[in-house]
Structure 1
Amino acid sequence: MHRLDDGQPIRDAIQEAGLSIERLAEKTKQVDPAGYGISRSAIGHMVSTGPSGRHGFARRSVDLVAAALERPVTELFGDSPT
């Protein structure tokens, strides 16, 4: 799945939740049934506007970030690049 608007909705949701990237990574562990979550680095790729920013992400990562932020996946990610 692809992030919307170069990750702006994700950045906004992180800010509104009062989280840091590190804290969001910890929260993904809490919502992951396997307890692994996703790394700070992976979240950094989701929110970066620079050269380290990526557009496509695995469904598992998308689901965990959305759950940790308590947002619908469709608010943060879309099926195809925009």
Structure 2
Amino acid sequence: MHRLDNGQRIRDAMQVAGLSIERLAEKTKEVDPAGYGISQSAIGHMVSTGTSGRASFTRRSCDLAAKALGKPVEELFMNAPV
């Protein structure tokens, strides 16, 4: 899946929720049935606009980030073109 608006929607959702990258990583562990969550580094890739920013992520990572932010995954990410 690809992040929308170069990660701006994720950054906006984090700001509204009052979450830092560190706290969002913790919240993804809380919502992950396996308890692993997403690393701070991976979330940094999701929100970065610089060279460390990445465009695509696994469905699992997208689902966990969206759930931790209380948003539908479709508001933050889109399916990768086939």
TM range (shorter): over 0.9
Deviation at 1:80, TM superposition (A): 3.0
User: Which residue does the alignment assign to 2:21?
Assistant: 21
Aligned residue runs from structure 1 range 25-36, under 5 A? 25-36=25-36
User: Which residue does the alignment assign to 1:65?
Assistant: 65
**TM-score computed with the length of structure 1 as normaliser:** 0.96
Figure out how many residues of one structure are paired with residues of the other and give that number.
81
C-alpha distance after superposition, 1:22-69 (max 9, x if no partner): 000000000000000010000000000000000000000000000000
Deviation at 1:9, TM superposition (A): 0.2
In structure 2, the gaps of 5 or more residues are: none
User: Which residue does the alignment assign to 2:37?
Assistant: 37
Deviation at 1:79, TM superposition (A): 1.2
SS of equivalent to 2:60: helix
User: Which residue does the alignment assign to 1:12?
Assistant: 12
**TM-score computed with the length of structure 2 as normaliser:** 0.96
User: RMSD in angstroms over aligned alpha carbons?
Assistant: 0.8
